[in-house]
Structure 1
Amino acid sequence: MDNILAIILSATAIATIFNILLKRFNIPTIIGYIITGFAIAYMYKLGRNNDSLTQIAEFGIVFLMFTIGLEFSIKHLLSMKKDVFFYGFLQVLLVGGVIALGAEYFFGIEKKSAIIIGYALALSSTAIVLKILNDSGTIHTIYGRKALGILLFQDIAVIPILLMINIFSNQNSSISSLLLQTFYSAVIILGLMFIIGKYLLNRFLSLVVWADTQEIFIASVLLLVVGASFLSHSLGFSYSLGAFLAGMMMSETQYKHQIEADLVPFRDILLGLFFITVGMQIDLSLIAQNYATILLFLGVMMAFKTLVVFTILFFSVGGRVALKTGLALCQGGEFSLAILALASSSHLISTNTSQVLIVTVVLSMVMTPFILKNMKKIVNSITKEPDNGDFKIHSSGIKDHIIVCGYGKLGQEIVYRLKKMNVNYLVLEHDINLVKLGQNRGEPVYFGNAAEKSILQNAFVENAKSVIIAINNEKKLILLCEVLKSFDAPIKIVAKASDYDEKKLLKALEVKHIVNEGREAAKALLHVALEENPTE
């Protein structure tokens, strides 16, 4: 007991100290957790395959997949069907197939083992990629959506890969019986999720909310998440697939935002534990003995996975987005580690081969936060942002105009009203698709990141009557206000506050013109409701 407490205390202290230090250099906290795992494994001589700890840590991925599921309705998933089922399928098929052939013909690995290795390495890290994309807000960009779609298919692909391990290692059951069992399991889990989601879930959550006790609400949500994960695992699927389906089910309820807010602390703590277990997999002696092989595998794997994604996406989204997506998915993943460990215990892969591949995957996961953090610099060094005449600000100098930052739904509504009022304006937007949409409508929408001072100078911000910020991302909103405040000339900033905390942050930056979203919506609703002769 004392030893367990010492390990927990040491892990907490090391993780806290390292993450504070790393934050000073703008390095993601994931690296701090991996270093912590590596440190405590050596300090306390912990085994590299601690099954009980790994099972607990896996629930970090479970809660992450659940919160991702909350943001997706069935309709949303179907709208992404090309990203998930076409691009995802192509990525897994091509990467897994080519690596399997290479392992068999160049390294003499037996065909069954080569197939498992190939498709294990085809998977990427859901935990790292989605956490960083969520934290940075890039999950909603084009490349973020493409990466998410492919990651979702990879999570589904874990099922047939695990089935292959069962088939290759199980001499007692026939392939047809195993496939039939998997089909029945899929029908059962999807059928149960549909029945619970359609007929029982809302009633159950209404009863819980009626009890008006916070801990009961959290406990009931934990019951649903863990229950769905357990059911999925019991039927031969991954825990995280069950959690994702549960999240999608709850995304249709009115309680989704409260559920997400309550589960974030559980998700983040368990994700931290998961990354600690990743750090525990690093074996320095093994790296020293096989460093040349590991570096070769690492370079080839990451370059090849990037190339495959780039190739399959190039013609649909262009080189820049395709390259970003490829770089985001170039690493091995947490399921790669699980599959390689399972294949080793099933005697499909030798212990030494398994350890070399596991260290290669872990090193690729360690590199990923740096790649994602410096994505723009890496991509800019290879291909520049589009800067052709169609998307540049042509004006030789304008003044007393309105600058609208963002051409989403709110920005489009503002532009529509400015046009009716015959007010001079221009729009800055960083999403090339929205820029094209605006320019096709004949609007003065220009490509550029409004949070860059040079872009604002090109828009003659110091001569503008005011700047309206029409973006919903809090981090980008604050960053943009900070940049606008850095100009010598006073600039009239008009910003929307979604809640009290956002309003507080804007006031701290001395933004004087803040529109309270909730209050203005309430005024408009009451005005219409109390009109004596309302028009239909």
Structure 2
Amino acid sequence: MAGEAVAAAEAAGHHGGTDLVSVVVLLAAAVIAVPLFRRLGLGSVLGYLAAGLVIGPLGLGVFQDAQSIIHVAELGVVLFLFIIGLEMQPSRLWAMRGEIFGLGLVQVAGAIAALTCVGLALGFPIAQSFVAGTGFVLTSTAIVMQMLEERGQMALPKGRRIVAILLLEDLAIVPLLALVAFLAPGGAEVTVADRLTGVAMGLAAIAALVLAGRYLLDPMFRLLARFGAREVMTAAALLVVLGAAVLMQAGGLSMAMGAFLAGVLLSESSFRHQLEADVEPFRGLLLGLFFLGVGMALDLTTIAANWGLIAICVPAYVILKMGVIYGVARMTRAGHGEALERAVLMAQGGEFAFVLYATATQVGIIDGAANAVLTAIIIVSMALTPLMILLHDRFGPKATAAMDGVDAVEELSARVLLIGFGRMGQIISQPLLARGHSLSIIDTDAQAIRDAGDFGFKVWYGDGTRLDILHAAGAAEASLIIAAPNSREAVTKIAELAKAEFPLVPVLARAFDREHALDLVKAGVEFQIRETLESALVIGREALIRLGDAPEEADDVMTAIRGRDIERFAMECVGGIYAGRSMLHGNKDLAEPAQ
């Protein structure tokens, strides 16, 4: 009955010229599944995959042709690569050349060699084994990029190394497709001229895109910004991305590579941020649609009919690929934690495998049944990735900062102990150093410590919330302790420890807002300051002057505001209003936002 109702609704939608039912079902599936799965800690990718399975041919049957949806939704991957390209200036991309053509090439070649052995071990011919294994080597750009974004690792060095490998895999699809054609029955008869023609077309497409990006794109956007409407700028952004993708596809390269190059060419444009804002909503929707399509394409019938082969191949491919990725990462001096995380993130097959298998079917290396089984293997591995990431995060080694070039706290002695050398601690240190006072500086950010060393600062590694570290850092002998780490909980803990163990040493503390300032007063610090208070008052004074007040009038106003703030803060301290501050919120004259 439900299927008949959906069919009737679809028929009605077609009769009206627009199939709104399909759109509504796709949106509803995403809106319901993704928040639920994220709430359960399973991630958005698995939510999309599960939703696609429910509304696909083997679920409610709302959609029957999952591949057509995947083909459209691949534009999400294209737009994602464009946004990544916008973050990669040419100089930065050039600096990554070693990782792209070194690290990426070694990993791809090693994984192809290892994964080809799976098919050979199962008794398949070398050509079929090579195609099956190579398809699994090509990692899912969509899944890995989404995971990196959700984990906040895109801009980190380990994230950039993964992006470099993915770029090499995108480049590798072209020679791999040529190799598949060569391995086909009669493929060796293809002339050298044909191969050179294919290479020349690819190089011509890249050259045309570079020339257009260098001389046409920025002038075009400048003209549109001057005379075009807002929606025309959005249309132009999509035109650039999709046009670059089509050009690369015509040259035999991947659409994603074209979009990435377009992004790189526009990365230094003054319109870069506007382009990113225009493309971002489409990228998110289409990428979600891609994952929905992959979930719909999960053919449980094929899996059930070939469950033995799939049960052997999926773990074999995943484990071997993880082993190669881990080995290459360690060989290139990555730490154990980074190597294992990279292996788990990149363990699955990807969307380019569908292209490779389709080409192998067309040239006669594999038949339709083998294509269906290999596609199922890829999709199962993609569906397992979020679960593997979840298990890694829960049971794997916890991320620790590399300690190369970082010294742990030893017996220090200085007049001032400064805890935390972030954006506030660095400024606090300047007047003290200018007056010749000796400082012992400790922090827990290993990279920040190395960066400070590049500028001539000696910062020791140590957690100021631990009493033994405070003793080792010389807190008992210091004339002053300044607590300025980038965590309100850490500042409070340091203040409480210091006043309990070293009551004669004054403590100056950084407060994050008004409630935190009250907590620090309660802990007994001699001085605290809300980190935004003084800067906000200075901006307020400047605003009054620019609006016409004389500097003296503005100073009078700011003095009155400071006085009221001091009086209110003193009342809260005396009244013990540390939680909720209901009296303040209930009085319009006294209420103010946390600063």
- Length-normalised TM-score, structure 2: 0.72
Q: 1:118 is matched with which residue?
A: 133
Distance 1:399 1:122, change over 3 A: farther
Q: 1:11 is matched with which residue?
A: 26
Matched, 1:328 2:345: yes
Alpha-carbon contact 2:79-2:279 (below 8 Å) kept: yes
Paired residue secondary structure (2:216): helix
Alpha-carbon contact 2:67-2:293 (below 8 Å) kept: no
Matched, 1:69 2:85: yes
Superposition deviation, residue 271 in structure 1:
0.1
Residue type of the alignment partner of 2:221: L
Which residue among 27, 41, 63 is the counterpart of 1:26? 41
CA–CA distance in structure 1, aligned partners of residues 164 and 276 of structure 2: 21
Alpha-carbon contact 2:483-2:491 (below 8 Å) kept: no
Superposition deviation, residue 208 in structure 1:
1.2
Residue type of the alignment partner of 1:262: D
Residue type of the alignment partner of 2:202: A
Superposition deviation, residue 447 in structure 1:
7.3
Paired residue secondary structure (1:158): helix
Find the structure with the greater CA-based Rg: 2
Superposition deviation, residue 326 in structure 1:
2.1
Paired residue secondary structure (2:396): helix
Which residue among 209, 216, 226 is the counterpart of 1:200? 216
Superposition deviation, residue 47 in structure 1:
7.2
Q: 1:109 is matched with which residue?
A: 124
Superposition deviation, residue 197 in structure 1:
2.0
Superposition deviation, residue 428 in structure 1:
3.1
Superposition deviation, residue 129 in structure 1:
1.0
Residue type of the alignment partner of 2:212: I
Please list, as runs of the form range in 1=range in 2, the aligned pairs for 1:75-474 lying within 5 A after superposition.
75-103=91-119, 105-169=120-184, 171=186, 174-211=190-227, 213-315=229-331, 316-373=333-390, 375-380=392-397, 392-394=408-410, 401-404=417-420, 406=422, 419-420=433-434, 422=437, 424=439, 426-430=441-445, 432=446, 435-436=449-450, 438=452, 443-446=458-461, 465-467=482-484, 469=486
Superposition deviation, residue 274 in structure 1:
0.3
CA–CA distance in structure 2, aligned partners of residues 77 and 143 of structure 1: 15
CA–CA distance in structure 2, aligned partners of residues 411 and 77 of structure 1: 33
Superposition deviation, residue 89 in structure 1:
0.5
Superposition deviation, residue 312 in structure 1:
1.8
Which residue among 40, 53, 63 is the counterpart of 1:38? 53
CA–CA distance in structure 2, aligned partners of residues 112 and 49 of structure 1: 30
CA–CA distance in structure 1, aligned partners of residues 232 and 52 of structure 2: 34
CA–CA distance in structure 1, aligned partners of residues 209 and 425 of structure 2: 38
Matched, 1:513 2:531: yes
CA–CA distance in structure 2, aligned partners of residues 292 and 427 of structure 1: 57
Residue type of the alignment partner of 1:426: I
CA–CA distance in structure 1, aligned partners of residues 208 and 40 of structure 2: 48
Q: 2:560 is matched with which residue?
A: none
Superposition deviation, residue 21 in structure 1:
1.6
Distance 1:266 1:318, change over 3 A: same
CA–CA distance in structure 2, aligned partners of residues 371 and 207 of structure 1: 49
Superposition deviation, residue 125 in structure 1:
1.4
Paired residue secondary structure (1:140): coil
Residue type of the alignment partner of 1:512: R
Could you say what the CA RMSD is over the residues aligned between the two structures, in angstroms? 3.9
Residue type of the alignment partner of 2:47: G
Distance 1:211 1:175, change over 3 A: same
Residue type of the alignment partner of 1:35: A
Alpha-carbon contact 1:146-1:325 (below 8 Å) kept: no
- Count of matched residue pairs: 491
Superposition deviation, residue 345 in structure 1:
4.5
Paired residue secondary structure (1:138): coil
Paired residue secondary structure (2:298): coil
Distance 1:226 1:423, change over 3 A: farther
Alpha-carbon contact 2:462-2:469 (below 8 Å) kept: no
Identity of aligned residues (%): 25
Superposition deviation, residue 439 in structure 1:
5.9
Alpha-carbon contact 2:357-2:371 (below 8 Å) kept: yes
Distance 1:27 1:445, change over 3 A: farther
Residue type of the alignment partner of 1:96: I
CA–CA distance in structure 1, aligned partners of residues 467 and 82 of structure 2: 39
Alpha-carbon contact 1:91-1:122 (below 8 Å) kept: no
Which structure is higher in RCO with an 8 Å CA cutoff and minimum separation 6? 1
Unpaired segments ≥5 residues, structure 1: 470-479, 496-502, 524-536
Paired residue secondary structure (1:402): strand
Superposition deviation, residue 163 in structure 1:
2.4
